[in-house]
Amino acid sequence: MPRRYTARVTTQQQDAPPIVADDPVYNATYTRREDLSPDLASFWVKMDGPAIPFQAGQYMTIGVKQGERMVQRPYSVASPPSVADTEGYEFYVRKVLGGTFTPLLFDLPVGHRMRIIGPKGKFTLLPDDDRQHIFISSGTGNAPFVAMMRELLIHGTPRPAVMLNGVSYAHELGYVPLLEGWERSGEYPVRFIPTVSRPNDPSNEGWTGRTGRVEAILAPVLDELGLTPDNSIAYICGNPDMIVAAEQTLLDRGYPEDQVHKELYWPKGKEPRGLAAADLASAIEMAEANEDQ
Ligand SMILES: Cc1cc2nc3c(=O)[nH]c(=O)nc-3n(C[C@H](O)[C@H](O)[C@H](O)COP(=O)(O)OP(=O)(O)OC[C@H]3O[C@@H](n4cnc5c(N)ncnc54)[C@H](O)[C@@H]3O)c2cc1C
């Protein structure tokens, strides 16, 4: 008989059935968590048996059963494929206000059982490509790039990269110690260019980096670093509006379509499913946050 308990619930989930603690469909355990902020965290999930192999840039779908229903979502793997057997899969996740799965995930205790399936996705690096790699992301869209760079480093074949990541607030920037460490030491030849879209917000006080959305700083960065279709390839991941805008900038500069690879985290114009249940202030906050991510 599956064990059940009621997880701490958020506004949208008060009437929902409890999360099933153990079930035959579960094939993995959520083993570790690192919080960057109340709404951003890395979660590690380890399979019961040997890990399913994947390529850096691909995603896995993780979920839990709520009552009779499987609640699950796809996440890019942020950890390198080489450590999947020993450490599991790392996912870097934003808690979406009004969302269905992420409020559950953020309330789940470490050690909880889960289901993981995959991998899926074609957002992977081309073989043997020594051009400058322009990695453009909003919010947690940096996850597949972190996996790619980590894996390349493990194989001793790092590729030159320019990593642009846009967030609303500086405290939402993920993997900063890793990326700045690589850049400082030269261990990975990456130029890390974070940007905040709300520079006047008090929480961004003291921010001395770039400002504006990531798609807005793309053109100046291309100019400053001399990046052209002849010497670089672009990968874009995250918010669909950002992806459309960044892609347009690249196409306008002559990048052929097959030199611009994209991974959309949600379809353009889509709102979280639980939004109707969220109050108006939360809904506005969420819509603005999504715009920035
Ligand atoms: C291929 C793929 C890879 C993904 N990888 C990641 C990842 O590595 N990290 C991650 O946080 N999310 C990732 N996502 C998004 C993830 O699958 C879920 O959509 C997200 O966690 C919201 O789930 P939810 O059930 O809480 O919200 P839902 O009720 O499903 O609502 C979805 C809505 O939430 C908003 N939303 C979704 N994702 C985000 C986000 N990351 N930031 C801000 N708003 C968002 C959008 O408005 C979207 O329409 C990925 C999606 C895809 C398709």
pLDDT score of 58: 98
Percent of the chain with pLDDT over 90: 86
Q: Which amino acid is at 18?
A: P
| 193 found inside a domain | yes
Ligand 1 neighbourhood includes 76 CB (under 6 angstroms): yes
Q: Are residues 107 and 139 in the same domain?
A: no
| 277 found inside a domain | no
- Assess whether pLDDT exceeds 80 at residue 2: no
| 270 found inside a domain | no
- Assess whether pLDDT exceeds 70 at residue 19: yes
Q: Are residues 144 and 221 in the same domain?
A: yes
| Digit-coded pLDDT (tens) for 235-290 | 999 999 999 999 999 999 999 999 999 999 999 887 676 555 444 455 545 555 55
Ligand 1 neighbourhood includes 123 CB (under 6 angstroms): no
Residue 32: φ, ψ to 5°: -160, 155
| 185 found inside a domain | yes
Ligand 1 geometric centre to CA of 91 (Å): 12
Ligand 1 neighbourhood includes 102 CB (under 6 angstroms): yes
Q: Are residues 138 and 112 in the same domain?
A: no
Where in 184-224 does DSSP place strands (E)? 190-196, 210-211
Q: Are residues 113 and 145 in the same domain?
A: no
Ligand 1 geometric centre to CA of 178 (Å): 23
The CATH number linked to 171 is 3.40.50.80
Q: Are residues 9 and 100 in the same domain?
A: yes
| 136 found inside a domain | yes
CB atoms within 10 A of CB 20: 21
Ligand 1 neighbourhood includes 89 CB (under 6 angstroms): no
Q: Are residues 11 and 88 in the same domain?
A: yes
pLDDT score of 18: 95
pLDDT score of 86: 97
Full domain range(s) for residue 101: 4-120
Q: Are residues 103 and 150 in the same domain?
A: no
Q: Are residues 137 and 259 in the same domain?
A: yes
Structural tokens at position 260:
């611009």
Residue ending a domain, among 120, 141, 169, is 120
What's the total number of domains in the chain? 2
Ligand 1 neighbourhood includes 194 CB (under 6 angstroms): no
Q: How far is C-alpha 200 from the geometric centre of its chain's CA atoms?
A: 25
Averaged pLDDT, 183-191: 98
| 276 found inside a domain | no
Averaged pLDDT, 102-122: 98
| 162 found inside a domain | yes
| 206 found inside a domain | yes
| Digit-coded pLDDT (tens) for 209-221 | 999 999 999 999 9
pLDDT band at 16 (very low <50, low <70, confident <90, very high): confident
The pTM for the full model equals 0.92
Residues 194, 209 contacting (CB under 8 angstroms): yes
Ligand 1 neighbourhood includes 132 CB (under 6 angstroms): no
Averaged pLDDT, 178-189: 98
